[in-house]
Amino acid sequence: MFIDRVKIRVKAGDGGNGVTAFRREKFVPRGGPSGGDGGNGGSVWMESDEGFNTLLHLRYNPEHKAERGRHGEGSNRHGKEGSDLTVKVPVGTQVLDAETNDLLFDFTEPGQKFLAAKGGKGGWGNAHFATPTRRAPKFHYTGRPGQERELQLELKLIADVGLVGYPNAGKSTLISVISAAKPKIADYPFTTLEPNLGVVDIGDYKTFVVADIPGLIEGASEGAGLGDRFLRHVERTKLILHLVDVSSISGRDPVDDYHVINRELANYSSDLAERPQIVVATKIDAIDDPERIERLKDAAKADSREFLQISSVANTGVKELIRVVANTLASIQPPIDLSESESAAV
């Protein structure tokens, strides 16, 4: 099950109390204060881990509490410090304050750590307060409580390319052809109920990551269909591949589909509307009216967007698509080198 939003509560350990105690030894007539300090409470840390790709493990385990510090004891024995607790999250997780919705941390790389709740400081025992003028203090400090807070975790998949389009536009079929991803494919709407990631090999040990975003429809930004639940996963992508079914099977007009999806992206985020986008006509093997392709091409040209046409089933135009996507990513992200792009593997 793909879970990309959960609410958890974290509680750091309380600090142990100091203690008031005095030495009672046979050959030490005057004794003295010997109360030890309490140990510090353990903290709650969060760490990004590539071994996780969903927040499912936190959905049924929302409470996370670190160990408290032990109390001090006589004979100047300090309490043991509480153990820290580490909560693992997937790369791409954002941590927000559940009350204010303020962004506290954004995990963009594996191995990053965030202090979610700081442990309480241990209290001082009475031995801590002994001075030449105050030789027998009869008081101590109690430990400080550990920090406690409620956090909202939201996962935004990190991918180079995001596939968007109406249900059954061919997104799942395309990602299954260009990568090793095996999403569910069927001839009914909303077959894909969760994002799928695929790694595309472009040769010379270079790759890019594609995210298949589940079906958008008109009104998705207002909750229709699957709503805007998965639109957040497009926010981190560098490039949008807008797939439009140009066959007559859907019963819809491809130009209308193109404009509807772009409106939904713009309604969700003005930044998404400005994101680099390539328009891809799909299912050209089933085309019965070439004019449908031409009208979509004109619409893309009017928006100054590159236009391509493919058939994933017939493997037509797919290599060209990979080459264009890789070159576009190279212009956005210089480290991707496409001198060998003609040998891109499908």
| 147 close to 162: Cβ distance less than 8 angstroms | no
pLDDT for the residue 271 = 83
In what side-by-side order are the strands of the sheet with 277-282?
196-201, 207-212, 161-164, 239-245, 277-282, 306-309
Q: Considering only 76-90, 281-295, 297-311, which range has the smallest mean pLDDT?
A: 281-295
Among candidate residues 82, 51, 77, 81, the one with its CA nearest the CA of residue 65: 82
pLDDT for the residue 179 = 83
Among candidate residues 13, 145, 142, 147, the one with its CA nearest the CA of residue 82: 13
- Write down the pTM of the prediction: 0.68
Query: In the chain, what percentage of residues exceed pLDDT 90?
Result: 49
- What is the CB neighbour count within 10 angstroms for residue 335? 7
| 249 close to 197: Cβ distance less than 8 angstroms | no
Domain boundary among 155, 184, 214: 155
- Shared domain for 167 and 281, answered yes or no, is yes
pLDDT for the residue 141 = 94
pLDDT for the residue 2 = 60
Domain boundary among 101, 132, 155: 155
In angstroms, the first-to-last Cα distance of the chain is 28
Per residue in 220-240, pLDDT tens? Answer: 445 444 445 667 777 788 899
Query: In the chain, what percentage of residues exceed pLDDT 70?
Result: 85
pLDDT for the residue 272 = 82
Dist CA 126 CA 140 (whole Å) = 5
Asked if the model's pLDDT at residue 334 lies above 80, the reply is no
CATH of the domain at 273: 3.40.50.300
- Shared domain for 338 and 227, answered yes or no, is yes
In what side-by-side order are the strands of the sheet with 148-155?
63-65, 5-11, 148-155, 93-97, 103-106
Dist CA 308 CA 174 (whole Å) = 13
Element at 271 (helix H, strand E): helix 270-274
pLDDT for the residue 218 = 63
User: Two tokens at 159?
Assistant: 């991918």
Asked if the model's pLDDT at residue 338 lies above 50, the reply is no
Higher pLDDT, 345 or 266: 266
Per residue in 206-222, pLDDT tens? Answer: 888 888 877 665 654 45
Beta bridge partners of 282: 245
**Helix/strand/coil (H, E, C) string of 100-125?**
CCCEEEECCCCCCEEEEECCCCCCCC
Q: How many domains, the chain? A: 2
Asked if the model's pLDDT at residue 186 lies above 50, the reply is no
272 exposure class (CB count in 10 Å sphere: 0-12, 13-18, 19+): buried
- Shared domain for 258 and 291, answered yes or no, is yes
Among candidate residues 270, 245, 240, the one with its CA nearest the CA of residue 257: 245
- Shared domain for 124 and 176, answered yes or no, is no
Per residue in 143-156, pLDDT tens? Answer: 999 999 999 998 88
- Shared domain for 115 and 98, answered yes or no, is yes
Per residue in 110-133, pLDDT tens? Answer: 999 999 999 999 999 999 899 988
- Shared domain for 172 and 145, answered yes or no, is no
7 SS3 class:
strand
- Shared domain for 255 and 295, answered yes or no, is yes
Element at 293 (helix H, strand E): helix 290-302
Where are the strands (E) in the chain, listed by range? 5-11, 44-48, 63-65, 85-89, 93-97, 103-106, 113-117, 148-155, 161-164, 196-201, 207-212, 239-245, 277-282, 306-309
pLDDT for the residue 279 = 95
Residues in the chain: 346
- Shared domain for 137 and 257, answered yes or no, is no
222 exposure class (CB count in 10 Å sphere: 0-12, 13-18, 19+): exposed
pLDDT for the residue 182 = 64
- Shared domain for 111 and 188, answered yes or no, is no
- Shared domain for 143 and 179, answered yes or no, is no
Domain boundary among 138, 155, 172: 155
- Shared domain for 208 and 79, answered yes or no, is no
Per residue in 14-36, pLDDT tens? Answer: 999 999 999 877 777 677 899 99
Query: Which phi and psi angles does 153 have, rounded to 5°?
Result: -105, 130
What are the b/e assignments for 179-215, b being 16+ CB within 10 Å? bebebeeeeeeebbebbbbbebbbbeebbbbbbbbbb
- Domain assignment of residue 168, given as a range: 161-343
CATH of the domain at 98: 2.70.210.12
- Shared domain for 169 and 184, answered yes or no, is yes
Beta bridge partners of 11: 65, 148
pLDDT for the residue 184 = 44
